[in-house]
C-alpha cells in the first residue's frame, strides 16, 4: 500500500472509530453495569430499572418509593395505549427490552402467545402469592403452558361518574340513589340523555366508543366463545345490542375521541355530564380536570357490573435485572400497597382480601362529592366473572370503535356501520 | 517518493494520452468500497430481502411459513390496500399540483430584480422547509382542530360552517396535503428561481419587441424555458409524495396508524407500517413495500416519458 | 435511510436551461401591487404557523382552548417547558439528534467524495456498470425496505442504539452522484496532470486538489444530509425504543402520545425547543443555505 493510500485508509478508520465511539457513548443499551443475581437472595443496588407504561398506571409513586427504599432508580417511558403495546412487541422481537412492561388485559391474550419472551415469574416464587389475587385476574397473566408472565395490577370495575352541577342545572337529581332510579336499563339511560340534551342543548356523553366499551365489558361471552375456540363477534346478540345502544348514543354524544386532548378539555370544561368510569377513570378525571373537584359524584351503572381494563406487570426475558424487577412489582402490587394506591388514585385493588376491609369499603372520595367509591367499586368487583378474551380482542375492538366514529360523522347509518364493522373485523383478523 | 512518475503514482487517473495506459490497480476500488459496502448491506440487500420475506407468513416473534405468492393475492383482494393506494395518489395530487404552481408564481415574483430585501424574502419562504415534519404535524393538527382549531374559528367568523377536518375523506386529505405543501412550496420556488435567473434576457427582449406583456412573456418565455426544471421537481415530488407517512400519522392522533376511523387518509406507507409493525405481519408488510416500489417506479417512468416527450416538442 | 417523507433528495440535479447563466438586466419587471400581494401572502403563510407555535407554547391549556383563539404569546412557556423536561430527557434527545445528523453529514460528504472522485477521474474495469447501478438506485426509495432493515439491525444488535441510524445513513447513491458531478465540473484534468507531473499520488490528488475544489458542493451535500437526518422520523420511530436513545423527532412524537400530558401547550413547547436551534442556525447561515439550494439547482 502506498503511503497516500495508507493515509486515506487511516483517515477513514479514524473517522469510523470516532463515529462509533460517539454513538456508543450515547447508545442506551448499557444501562446495567452489573447484572442482578438472584442467587444468595441479596438484591443489587444502584441499578436503573426501565418501566414502560401507557398513560398512568397509578403505580409510579409506589415504584419511585420502592426505588428510593432499595437504593435503585426507575425510569419510565409512557406512550399511548396501542403504540405502547406495539413497541413492546417490537422490543421482544429485537431483544432491546425494558425491565418491566405493562400489558393491558385486552392485549394479554396476544402476549400470552409469546409468553416465552417473558420471565416466568414462578422462578421467583410467584406461586406463593397467587392466592392474594382474584383468580381470573391472575389467570390473565398465565400462559397455556402454565408460565406466569405477569402479576395483576388493578381491577377496572365499572360505575358511572356524573357532574352534579350539570345535573342540577338540567333539573335532574344529584344523589346517587335517585340518579340510579332514573334508569333501570340502557334504553332508559339514553332517554335521560336525550331529555338532558333537549333541556340544556349540551351533550350528555363524551363518546359512543366509551359507551360501547362499557356494554362490551358487560357481555359474556364477548368476541370469542366461552371456550375461546371460535369467534362470535358477528353472532353474539350481546355485542350487537351493545353496538346498537352505542350507535343510538351518537345523538347525545360530544363525539370526542377518548383520551384525546379535546376529550381532556371537554372533561374539564363540563362539556358533557356523564363519564362511564371504570375505577381507574377516577384517577384520570382527577388528573385531567383538577378544577372540577367536588362537582362529580359516582353511581352504579343501569345494569350489571363489568370490568374494563386492568393490566399485568411483566418482566421481559431479556431484562438483565429480572430478580430486582420482580422484587419491585411484587411489592407495589401487594395487597397493602394496592390499598394505598387505591386511596391515592382510585385504582381498584385486584386483591380480594381488601374487599371486606373497612379501610377500603368505608372509603369516600372528596373529589367525587364524598361518594362511597369504596363500596361502589367493591360491589362492582364482586359481581365480576371471568370472561374469555382472545388474542385479537383489541384489533377487533378498534374496528368497532372506528365504525361508531363513522356514525358520529354521519358517514354511515347505524346499520351500515354494523355491517362495515363486521367486514373490517374480518379483514383485520384474516 | 518514486521519481519515475510514469510508472507509478496516479494509478489510472485520467491524464494525457501518454498516461492512459491503464494499470490494474486496486486504488479506485478502495475509493468506492466504503460506499458499496454500506450501501450493499443496508440498502440493496434489504431491498432484495423484502422480496424474499414477502413470500412468507412471517411473524417476528412467532411462526414463519412459506406461502408463495399468497400475500400478493391477498393484497390485491384487500380493499384496504386499494383504499390506501387511492388515498396516496389523491394526497399526492392535492399536495403536488397546487404546490408546483404556487412555487412558480412565487419564483416569478421573487425573481423581480428591483425587489428590496431579496434574501430576507427567500429565507422567509424557506423557513417551513427547515421546520421538522413532526413539528409541522403537531402545529397543523392543532390548526385544523375540530373544536378549538384556528381554521375552524376563521371559517366560523366569516359565517361558514365549522368542518370536522379529520372526519371527511376530502377534508382530511386536504389538511394532510397542506402540511406537505407548506413544507415544500418555498423550497421548490427557490429551485424555479434559480432556473429563471438563467433564462437569457434576449428571449424576453425579443418577446417584448413582439409586443408581449408581462403575463404573456411569463407564459411564452418563462414557462417553456422552465420545462425541464418543472419535470424534475415533479419527479422528486412524486417519489416523496407517494411515501407520505408522518403527516397523516400525526394528524390522526390515536387513530393515526389507520389514517382515521374510515382509513380516510391512510397512505400506503402507513398501511405498510400498520401491517408490519402493528399487526406484526412482516410478510404482508413486505408485499406492500414491493407494491409501493412498483407504483413509484411506474410513476417515475411515466414522468420521464412525459419529460422526454415535452423536451422533444 | 433518510426519511420517508423528506422527499427531496436535494434538488440538485435540476436540469436548468444550459445556455446563459448570467443574470439578465433588471429592467423587465417593475414592482407592482401584484408582487407585493404575493410576497406578503407567502411570507405570512410561511411564518404564521411558526409564530403560532410560539403562541401556543407560551399559553396554558385553557387559553389555547378559548374561542376565539389566543393570538398573542402568553407567559406560560417556562411552565410548559418544565413539563417537557419532566416527560422526556430533552437535552439528551437533542444531543442524540446532533450526533446522528452531524456524523451522517460528515460521513456522507466524505464517503461520497471518495466514490464520486473515483467515478469522475479514475478509470477501472466495471466503472460504467457500477455507475449505472448508483444512478439507477438513486430514485429507489430504499427506506421502504424497512422490514428487512429492522431484521438486520436486530441481528447486529443495534436496536435502540444510535448506530442503527448512523451507519446506514453514511452513504447515499445520491451523494455519490452529486459528488461525481461536482468533481467533474470543478476539477479540470489539466490540474490533475500537473499535480501528477509533480509526483502526486492519487490520494494526494484527492486530499489536496479534489477536496478543496469541491468544497461548495460538499457543504451543500452536508447541509442536506444533516437536515435529512435531523428530520428523519420513520426509521428512528421503529428502531429506537427508550427515551435515552430517542432523537428529537421521536421525543416530540412521544410528547404527543403521552396520555397524561396530551396538552397542546406542552407539546408545542417541546416543538419550540426542538425548532429554535435550527431556526438560529438558519438565521446565521440562511444566506448560504439559500445560495446552496439555488447553486445546486444550477450545477450538474
Cα separation, C68 vs C45, in Å, equals 20
| Model confidence band, residue C258 (pLDDT cutoffs 50, 70, 90) | low
pLDDT at residue number A12: 54
**Using CB atoms within 10 A of its CB, is residue B187 exposed (0-12), middle (13-18) or buried (19+)?**
buried
Predicted structure pTM score: 0.87
Asked whether the beta carbons of residue A95 and residue C99 sit closer than 8 angstroms, the reply is no
Choice between B163 and C286, residue whose per-residue pLDDT is larger: B163
Q: What's B254's domain CATH number? A: 1.10.3720.10
Residue C124 pLDDT class (50, 70, 90 cuts): very high
Cβ-contact B125, B106 below 8 angstroms: yes
The reply to whether A264 touches chain C by the CB within 8 Å rule is yes
Confidence of residue A14 (pLDDT cuts 50, 70, 90): low
Of B115 and C53, the structure prediction assigns the larger pLDDT to C53
- Tell me whether residues A80 and B60 touch, CB distance under 8 A: no
Same-domain check for residues B279 and B206: yes
- Chain C touched by B184 (CB under 8 Å): yes
Whether residues B134 and B279 fall in one domain = yes
Q: Which of B75, B262, B275 to mutate to test the interface with A (most CBs of A within 10 A)?
A: B262
Inspect the interface and report whether the beta carbons of A5 and B164 lie closer than 8 Å.
no
Judge whether B78 is closer than 8 Å to chain A, CB to CB.
yes
pLDDT at residue B8, as a whole number: 34
Q: State how far the Cα of B128 lies from the Cα of B185, in Å rounded to an integer.
A: 9
Mean pLDDT in residue range C7-21: 42
pLDDT band at A28; cut points 50, 70, 90 = very low
Shortest Cα distance, chain A CAs vs residue B3, angstroms: 14
- Cβ neighbours around C32 below 10 Å, total: 11
Chains near B (3 or more Cβ pairs under 8 Å): A, C
Q: What is the mean pLDDT of residues B19-29?
A: 67
Q: Say yes or no: B84 and B49 in one domain.
A: no
Interchain CB distance below 8 Å, C122 and B13 = yes
pLDDT at A238: 96
pLDDT at A108: 93
Examine the pLDDT at C8 and tell me if it is beyond 80. no
Nearest to B248 by CA among B259, B239, B263, B237: B259
| B162, B253: one domain | yes
Identify which of C221, C213, C166, C219 has the alpha carbon closest to the alpha carbon of residue C189: C213
Burial of C103 (0-12, 13-18, 19+ CB in 10 A): buried
Instruction: Give a yes or no: residue B69 inside a domain.
Output: no
pLDDT the model gives residue C13? 44
Find, among C106, C111, C116, C112, the residue nearest to C187 by Cα. C116
- What phi and psi values does residue A163 have, to the nearest 5 degrees? -90, 110
- For residue C5, the distance in angstroms to the closest alpha carbon of chain B comes to 5
What residues contact residue A233 under an 8 Å CB cut-off, 6+ apart?
A223, A224, A239, A396, A422, A425
What domains does chain C contain, in order, with CATH numbers?
Answer: 36-298 (1.10.3720.10)
Neighbours of chain C (3+ CB pairs under 8 A): A, B
> Could you give the ipTM of this predicted complex?
0.85
Residue among A67, A320, A281 at smallest CA distance from A160: A281
Helix (H), strand (E) at residue A116: none
Of C107, C201, C258, the CB nearest to A78: C258
Between helices A335-345 and A279-288, what is the axis angle to 10°? 40
Most confident range, picked from A159-163, A258-262, B5-9: A159-163
Q: Do residues A156 and A308 touch, judged by C-beta distance below 8 A?
A: yes
Q: Which residue of A has its CA nearest to C253?
A: A79
B67 part of a folded domain: no
Under 8 Å CB pairs connecting chains A and B tally to 64
Question: What percent of chain B has pLDDT above 90?
Answer: 57
Q: Are B283 and B58 in contact (CB under 8 A)?
A: yes
pLDDT at residue number B310 = 64
The predicted pLDDT at position C4 comes to 32
- Tell me if A409 and B261 make a contact (CB, 8 A cut-off): yes
Cβ atoms of A249 and A187 closer than 8 Å: no
Q: How far is C223 from chain B (nearest CA, A)?
A: 11
Residue A212 pLDDT grade (very low, low, confident, very high; cuts 50, 70, 90): very high
| Residues in A touching B279 (Cβ below 8 Å) | 395, 428
B258 contacts on A by Cβ (under 8 Å)? 398, 402
Q: Does the distance separating the beta carbons of A260 and B253 come in below 8 Å?
A: yes
**Confidence category of residue C292, pLDDT binned at 50, 70, 90:** confident
Question: Checking DSSP bridges between strand A100-104 and strand A48-54, what pairing results, if any?
Answer: parallel
Share of chain A above pLDDT 70, in %: 90
Give the Å distances, CA to CA, from C53 to A313, B120, C88, C275, C279.
38, 21, 19, 10, 13
Chains that touch A (3 or more CB pairs under 8 A): B, C
Q: Residue with C-alpha cell 405493562? A: A102
Q: CB contact, 8 Å: B164 with chain A?
A: yes
Residue C256: the pLDDT is: 75
Range of the domain at B197: 79-312
What is the average pLDDT value for chain A, to the nearest integer? 89
Chain C positions in Cβ-Cβ contact with residue A80 (cut-off 8 Å): 257-259
Q: For residue B58, tell me if it sits in a domain.
A: no
> Is the domain of B258 the same as that of B168?
yes
Helices and strands (H, E) in chain B, number of each type: 14, 2
Report residue A92's pLDDT band, with 50, 70 and 90 as the boundaries.
Answer: very high
Is C7 a residue whose pLDDT tops 50? no
Q: Mean pLDDT throughout C171-182?
A: 93
Question: Is B70 inside any structural domain?
Answer: no
CA dist A277 and A281 (Å) reads 5
List the single range of A81-90, A289-298, B197-206, C27-36 with lowest mean pLDDT.
C27-36
- Residue A340: closest CA among A326, A359, A365: A359
**SS3 call for B56:** strand
As a whole number, mean pLDDT of residues C129-152 equals 90
How much is the pLDDT for C64?
A: 75
Residue B195, min C-alpha distance to chain C (Å): 5
Residue A136 burial class via C-beta count within 10 angstroms: exposed 0-12, middle 13-18, buried 19 and up: middle
pLDDT tier at C88, thresholds 50, 70, 90: confident
C65, C282, C298: residue with CB nearest B130:
C282
Give contacts of A268 with chain C, Cβ < 8 Å.
62
Query: For the residues A89-96, what does the mean pLDDT come to?
Result: 92
Enumerate the residues of chain B whose CB falls inside 8 A of the CB of residue C207: none
From the list A307, A24, A316, A271, the residue with the least C-alpha distance to A165 is A271
C6 pLDDT band, cuts 50/70/90, is very low
Longest CA span, chain C: 77
Place B230 in a pLDDT band, splitting at 50, 70 and 90: confident
Q: Nearest CB to B195: which of C14, C148, C206?
A: C14
pLDDT of residue C15: 46
CB contact under 8 A, A82 and B257: yes
Distance between CA atoms of residues A341 and A338, nearest Å:
5
Task: Tell me the C-alpha distance between B256 and B260, whole Å.
Answer: 6
Indicate the average pLDDT of chain B: 87
Q: How confident is the model at residue B306 (pLDDT cuts 50, 70, 90)?
A: confident
Least Cα separation, residue A235 to chain C (angstroms): 34
Backbone φ, ψ for residue B259 (5° rounding):
65, 45
B251 near B271, Cβ under 8 Å? no
A48-54 β-sheet, strand order: A73-79, A48-54, A100-104, A311-314, A150-152
Cβ-defined contact of A94 to C162 (cutoff 8 Å): no
| Chain C residues touching B128 at Cβ < 8 A | 46, 49
Query: pLDDT tens digit string along C194-247?
Result: 998 988 889 999 999 999 989 888 988 898 899 889 989 999 999 999 999 999
Yes or no, beta carbons of B61 and A86 under 8 Å apart: no
Cβ separation C166–A56 shorter than 8 A:
no
* Rounded percentage of chain C residues whose pLDDT exceeds 90: 47
> C233: Cβ–Cβ under 8 A, 6 or more apart, which residues?
B132, B133, B134, B245, B246, C3, C4, C5, C249, C250, C253
Which pLDDT belongs to residue C265? 86
Q: What share of chain B in percent tops pLDDT 70?
A: 89
pLDDT > 50? residue A35: no
Q: What does the pLDDT look like over A180-194, one tens digit per residue? A: 999 999 999 999 999
C-alpha cell at A425: 373485523
- Chain C, nearest residue to B53 by Cα: C148
Q: Which residues contact A64 (CB under 8 A, 6 or more apart)?
A: A74
Q: How far apart are CA B136 and CA B245, in angstroms?
A: 13
Residue C168's pLDDT band (boundaries 50, 70, 90)?
Answer: very high
Is residue A20 over pLDDT 60? no
Residue C175 CA to residue B4 CA, distance in Å, equals 36
User: Nearest-CA distance from A366 to chain C in Å?
Assistant: 22
At residue A293, what are phi and psi to the nearest 5 degrees? -55, 135
Spell out the residues 6+ positions from residue A310 whose beta carbon is closer than 8 angstroms to its own.
Answer: A104, A105, A137, A140, A152, A153, A154, A155, A156, A280, A350
Q: Is B171 exposed, middle or buried (0-12, 13-18, 19+ CB in 10 A)?
A: middle
Q: Do A257 and B254 touch (CB under 8 A)?
A: yes
Q: Transcribe C189-236 into DSSP letters.
A: HHHHHHHHHTT--HHHIIIIIIHHHTHHHHHHHHHHHHHHHHH--HHH
- Answer for the pair A199, A170: CB distance below 8 angstroms, yes or no: yes
pLDDT at A25 over 50: no
Q: Is the pLDDT of residue A251 over 90?
A: yes
CB atoms within 10 A of CB C179: 28
Q: Would the pLDDT of A5 be above 60? A: no
Give the pLDDT confidence score for residue C50 in this predicted structure.
94
Dist. CA B182–CA B125, nearest whole Å? 9
Give how far B212 is from chain A: nearest CA, Å: 52
Q: Is A265 on the interface with B (CB under 8 A)?
A: yes
Which of A337-351, C30-44, C97-111 tops mean pLDDT? C97-111
List, as one string, the DSSP characters of C62-89: HHHT-SSPP-S--S-HHHHHHHHHHHS-
According to CATH, where is 3.40.190.10 located in chain A? 48-155+310-354, 158-308+374-429
CA–CA separation, A57 vs B297, rounded Å? 47
Where do the DSSP E strands lie in chain B?
Answer: 56-58, 64-66
Residue (of C230, C97, C108) closest to C169 by Cα position: C108
Tell me, yes or no, if B121 comes closer than 8 A to chain C by beta carbon. Answer: yes
Count of alpha carbons within 13 angstroms of residue A240, beta-carbon side: 9
Number of domains chain B contains: 2
Query: What pLDDT score was predicted for residue C151?
Result: 95
Contact A80 C103 (CB under 8 A): no
Output the nine-digit C-alpha cell for A84: 405502547
Does the beta-carbon distance from B150 to C290 stay under 8 Å? no
Superfamily of domain A48-155+310-354: Periplasmic binding protein-like II (3.40.190.10)
CATH superfamily of A158-308+374-429: Periplasmic binding protein-like II (3.40.190.10)
Amino acid at each position: 500500500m502506498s503511503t497516500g493510500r495508507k493515509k486515506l485508509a487511516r483517515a477513514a478508520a479514524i473517522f469510523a472509530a470516532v463515529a462509533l465511539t460517539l454513538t456508543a457513548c450515547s447508545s442506551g443499551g448499557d444501562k446495567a453495569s452489573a447484572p442482578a443475581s438472584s442467587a444468595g437472595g441479596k438484591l443489587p443496588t444502584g441499578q436503573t430499572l426501565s418501566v414502560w407504561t401507557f398513560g398512568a398506571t397509578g403505580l409510579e409513586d409506589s415504584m419511585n418509593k420502592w426505588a428510593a427504599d432499595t437504593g435503585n432508580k426507575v425510569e419510565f417511558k409512557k406512550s399511548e395505549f396501542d403504540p405502547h403495546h406495539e413497541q413492546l412487541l417490537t422490543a421482544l422481537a429485537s431483544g432491546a427490552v425494558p425491565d418491566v412492561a405493562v400489558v393491558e388485559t385486552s392485549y394479554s391474550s396476544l402476549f400470552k402467545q409469546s409468553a416465552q419472551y417473558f420471565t416466568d415469574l414462578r422462578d421467583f416464587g410467584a406461586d406463593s402469592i397467587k392466592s392474594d389475587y382474584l383468580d381470573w385476574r391472575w389467570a390473565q397473566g398465565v400462559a397455556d403452558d402454565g408460565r406466569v408472565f405477569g402479576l395483576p395490577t388493578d381491577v377496572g370495575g365499572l360505575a358511572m361518574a356524573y357532574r352534579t352541577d350539570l345535573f342540577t342545572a338540567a333539573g335532574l337529581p344529584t344523589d346517587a340513589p335517585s340518579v340510579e332510579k332514573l334508569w333501570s336499563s340502557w334504553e332508559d339511560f339514553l332517554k335521560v340523555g336525550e331529555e338532558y340534551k333537549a333541556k340544556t342543548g349540551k351533550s350528555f356523553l363524551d363518546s359512543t366508543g366509551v359507551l360501547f366499551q362499557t356494554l362490551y365489558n358487560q357481555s359474556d361471552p364477548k368476541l370469542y366463545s366461552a371456550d375461546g375456540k371460535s369467534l362470535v363477534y358477528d353472532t353474539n346478540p350481546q355485542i350487537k345490542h351493545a353496538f346498537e345502544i352505542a350507535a343510538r348514543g351518537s345523538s347525545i354524544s360530544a363525539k370526542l375521541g377518548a383520551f384525546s386532548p379535546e376529550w381532556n378539555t371537554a372533561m374539564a370544561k363540563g362539556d358533557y355530564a356523564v363519564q362511564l368510569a371504570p375505577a381507574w377513570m377516577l384517577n384520570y378525571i382527577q388528573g385531567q380536570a383538577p378544577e372540577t373537584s367536588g362537582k362529580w359524584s359516582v353511581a352504579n351503572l343501569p345494569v350489571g357490573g363489568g370490568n374494563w381494563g386492568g393490566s399485568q406487570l411483566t418482566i421481559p426475558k431479556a431484562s438483565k435485572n429480572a430478580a430486582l424487577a420482580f422484587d419491585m412489582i411484587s411489592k407495589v402490587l401487594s395487597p397493602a400497597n394496592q390499598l394505598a394506591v387505591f386511596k391515592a388514585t382510585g385504582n381498584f385493588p385486584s386483591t380480594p382480601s381488601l374487599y371486606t376491609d373497612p379501610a377500603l369499603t368505608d372509603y369516600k372520595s372528596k373529589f367525587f362529592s364524598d361518594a362511597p367509591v369504596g363500596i361502589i367499586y367493591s360491589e362492582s368487583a364482586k359481581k365480576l366473572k371471568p370472561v374469555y378474551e382472545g388474542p385479537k380482542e383489541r384489533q377487533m375492538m378498534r374496528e368497532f370503535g372506528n365504525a361508531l366514529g363513522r356514525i358520529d360523522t354521519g358517514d354511515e347509518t347505524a346499520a351500515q356501520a354494523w355491517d362495515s364493522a363486521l367486514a373490517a373485523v374480518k379483514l383485520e383478523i384474516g | 517518493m518514486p521519481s519515475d512518475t510514469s510508472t507509478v503514482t496516479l494509478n489510472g487517473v485520467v491524464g494525457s494520452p501518454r498516461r492512459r495506459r491503464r494499470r490494474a490497480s486496486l486504488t479506485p476500488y478502495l475509493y468506492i468500497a466504503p460506499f458499496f459496502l454500506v450501501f450493499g448491506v443496508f440498502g440493496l440487500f434489504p431491498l432484495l430481502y423484502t422480496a424474499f420475506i414477502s413470500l412468507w407468513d412471517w411473524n417476528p416473534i412467532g411462526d414463519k411459513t412459506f406461502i408463495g405468492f399468497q400475500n400478493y393475492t391477498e393484497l390485491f383482494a384487500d380493499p384496504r390496500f386499494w383504499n390506501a393506494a387511492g388515498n396516496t395518489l389523491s394526497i399526492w395530487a392535492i399536495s403536488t399540483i397546487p404546490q408546483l404552481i404556487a412555487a412558480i408564481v412565487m419564483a416569478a415574483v421573487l425573481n423581480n430584480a428591483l425587489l428590496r430585501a431579496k434574501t430576507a424574502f427567500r429565507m422567509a419562504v424557506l423557513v417551513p422547509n427547515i421546520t421538522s415534519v413532526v413539528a409541522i404535524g403537531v402545529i397543523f393538527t392543532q390548526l385544523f382542530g375540530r373544536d378549538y382549531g384556528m381554521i375552524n374559528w376563521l371559517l366560523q367568523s366569516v359565517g361558514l360552517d365549522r368542518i370536522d377536518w379529520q372526519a371527511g375523506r376530502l377534508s382530511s386529505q386536504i389538511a394532510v396535503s397542506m402540511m406537505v405543501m407548506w413544507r415544500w412550496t418555498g423550497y421548490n420556488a427557490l429551485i424555479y428561481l434559480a432556473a429563471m435567473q438563467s433564462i437569457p434576457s434576449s428571449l424576453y427582449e425579443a418577446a417584448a419587441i413582439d409586443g408581449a406583456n408581462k403575463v404573456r412573456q411569463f407564459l411564452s418565455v418563462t414557462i417553456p424555458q422552465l420545462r425541464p426544471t418543472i419535470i424534475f421537481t415533479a419527479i422528486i415530488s412524486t417519489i416523496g409524495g407517494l411515501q407520505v407517512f408522518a403527516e397523516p400519522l400525526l394528524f390522526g392522533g390515536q387513530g393515526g396508524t389507520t389514517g382515521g376511523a374510515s382509513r380516510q387518509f391512510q397512505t400506503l406507507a402507513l398501511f405498510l407500517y400498520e401491517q408490519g409493525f402493528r399487526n406484526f405481519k412482516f410478510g404482508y408488510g413486505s408485499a406492500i413495500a414491493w407494491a409501493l416500489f412498483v407504483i413509484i417506479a411506474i410513476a417515475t417512468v411515466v414522468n420521464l416519458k412525459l419529460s422526454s416527450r415535452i423536451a422533444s416538442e | 435511510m433518510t426519511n420517508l417523507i423528506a422527499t427531496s433528495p436535494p434538488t440538485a440535479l435540476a436540469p436548468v436551461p444550459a445556455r446563459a447563466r448570467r443574470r439578465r438586466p433588471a429592467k423587465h419587471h417593475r414592482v407592482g401591487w401584484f408582487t407585493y400581494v404575493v410576497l406578503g401572502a407567502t411570507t405570512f403563510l410561511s411564518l404564521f404557523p411558526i409564530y403560532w407555535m410560539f403562541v401556543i407554547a407560551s399559553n396554558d391549556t385553557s387559553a389555547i382552548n378559548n374561542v376565539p383563539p389566543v393570538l398573542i404569546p402568553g407567559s406560560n412557556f417556562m411552565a410548559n417547558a418544565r413539563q417537557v423536561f419532566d416527560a422526556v430527557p430533552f437535552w439528551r434527545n437533542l444531543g442524540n439528534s446532533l450526533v446522528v445528523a452531524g456524523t451522517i453529514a460528515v460521513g456522507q460528504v466524505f464517503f461520497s467524495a471518495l466514490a464520486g472522485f473515483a467515478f469522475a477521474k479514475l478509470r477501472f474495469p466495471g466503472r460504467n456498470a457500477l455507475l449505472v447501478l448508483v444512478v439507477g438506485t438513486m430514485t429507489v426509495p430504499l427506506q421502504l425496505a424497512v422490514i428487512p432493515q429492522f431484521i438486520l439491525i436486530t441481528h447486529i444488535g443495534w436496536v435502540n442504539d444510535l448506530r442503527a441510524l448512523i451507519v446506514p445513513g453514511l452513504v447515499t447513491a445520491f451523494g455519490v452522484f452529486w459528488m461525481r458531478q461536482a468533481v467533474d465540473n470543478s476539477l479540470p484534468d489539466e490540474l490533475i496532470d500537473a499535480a501528477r507531473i509533480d509526483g502526486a499520488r492519487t490520494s494526494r490528488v484527492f486530499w489536496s486538489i479534489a477536496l478543496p475544489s469541491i468544497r461548495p458542493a460538499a457543504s451543500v451535500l452536508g447541509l442536506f444530509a444533516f437536515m435529512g437526518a435531523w428530520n428523519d422520523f420513520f426509521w428512528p420511530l421503529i428502531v429506537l425504543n427508550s427515551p435515552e436513545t430517542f432523537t428529537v423527532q421521536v421525543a416530540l412524537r412521544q410528547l404527543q402520545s403521552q396520555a397524561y400530558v396530551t396538552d397542546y401547550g406542552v407539546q408545542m413547547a417541546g416543538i419550540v425547543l426542538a425548532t429554535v436551534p435550527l431556526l438560529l442556525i438558519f438565521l446565521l447561515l440562511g444566506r448560504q443555505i439559500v445560495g446552496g439550494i439555488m447553486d445546486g439547482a444550477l450545477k450538474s
